[in-house]
Amino acid sequence: MRTLDQLEARKKTVLVRVDYNVPIKEGVVGDDTRVRASLPTIKELLEKGAKVVLMSHLGRPKGVDPAFSLLPVAEVLADLLQKPVKFVTGLPSSDEALADVRAADYGEVLLLENVRFEPGEKKNDPELAAKYARLAEVFVLDAFGSAHREHASVVGVARLLPSYAGRLMEKEVKALGKLLHGPETPYWVVLGGAKVSDKIGVIKSLLPKVDGMLIGGAMAFTFIKAIGGQTGNSLVEDDKVELAAGLLEEARSLGKQLLLPSDVVAAREISSEAETKVFPAFGIPEGWMGLDIGPESRKTFSEALAPARTVFWNGPMGVFETPPFDAGTLAVAETLAGLDAYTVVGGGDSVAAVKRLGYADKFSHVSTGGGASLEFLEKGTLPGIEVLGGLSPEEV
């Protein structure tokens, strides 16, 4: 990938695609991690003497909707940079936006409005990409969390301007690349979360590289059903049961361990007040839902991970949002935090869990990209990487 090392940014207008898809409630930004993660690139470009024009998506608005405006992010960014940030209220493709950008000086920072207010954004409309491109002389892609999207503000505009990877993009690709190329062994992967279907690709591609995989969360029940277990009212993807059986068979033929929970904490409803019972994971009675891995599984999982030298974790072990069903996720976070190993956590909910439980700084790398990190691990590259020149052997 071309990086900022190759960019002579002095007196250039640089359009930077960042990932400011942050949680906003009633105009207030919740977690500002993604804004902080963009600072190294912005500061470097300012030091080099560029005019910095930032663009991002936020949420999934249907057309222009003030609830999805990036304005609150401009305020957070200005605080973090300790510098004014000009918020451009016109649509990014508008002539007003172009005029605002032209009127700004080098050394200034502007933030454009939500690119998903533009109907052509997700369709990668070439006319829209051209409207973005006319705003600047150079494009920097720093939105790792969006680098798997073939959208106009990601790949469309990159094809029209000289384009470079920002520092966050570089850091993510290096950190995740270590999970694909020569990871230290034993190498374990911990998967959980809601659906098997989200993670099939990554299971298939990582299985040959790892020593073993631990499967928790709701996705474990599809596997449990595949081996004839009774899952009660737990979340099962019935149309993926056969596929889960296939993955188990694949693991067996490769000689890899694929560990499922042996017990679960179950309840009749998802509520902190609900009565809970521990059942064998293969024998959950009707009316009961497995909502977390059980105490015996917490122990087995921790023991399996103890010798690991490399661990990738995606997906919580249970409904961590609703205690007490966060105990399994907490146990895994605690175990990984204590390992002398290269540990990476990726995935929106997993990262939120690790942060809420206070373990984020104990990981070697906390990825800012959920879907992007999984797709990168599955394919070894992303559309947003390819458009910046792809990966050279030294980069992987």
- If one asks whether residue 232 binds ligand ADP (CB under 6 A), the answer comes out as no
Q: How many CB atoms lie within 10 A of CB 67?
A: 10
Binding to ligand ADP by CB under 6 A, coded x per residue (else -) over 303-322, reads: -----------xxx-xx-x-
246 counts as catalytic: no
Binds ligand ADP by CB under 6 A, chosen from 56, 69, 146, 350: 350
Q: Exactly one of 43, 122, 195, 209 is catalytic; which is it? A: 195
Amino acid occupying residue 345: V
- If one asks whether residue 347 binds ligand ADP (CB under 6 A), the answer comes out as yes
* Residue closer to Mg ion, measured from CB, 349 or 378: 349
- If one asks whether residue 194 binds ligand ADP (CB under 6 A), the answer comes out as yes
122 counts as catalytic: no
Q: Of ligand ADP, Mg ion, none, which one sits near residue 294, judging by CB under 5 to 8 A according to partner kind?
A: none
- Could you give phi then psi for residue 176, rounded to 5 degrees? -75, -30
Q: Exactly one of 166, 193, 290, 348 is catalytic; which is it? A: 348
371 counts as catalytic: yes
- If one asks whether residue 349 binds Mg ion (CB under 5 A), the answer comes out as yes
Stretch that binds Mg ion, among 67-75, 155-163, 265-273, 347-355 (CB under 5 A): 347-355
**C-alpha distances in Å from residue 228, one per residue of 213, 235, 268, 269:** 20, 15, 22, 24
- If one asks whether residue 349 binds ligand ADP (CB under 6 A), the answer comes out as yes
Stretch that binds ligand ADP, among 59-67, 78-86, 188-196, 297-305 (CB under 6 A): 188-196
Binds Mg ion by CB under 5 A, chosen from 156, 348, 383, 384: 348
Active site members: 34, 195, 348, 371
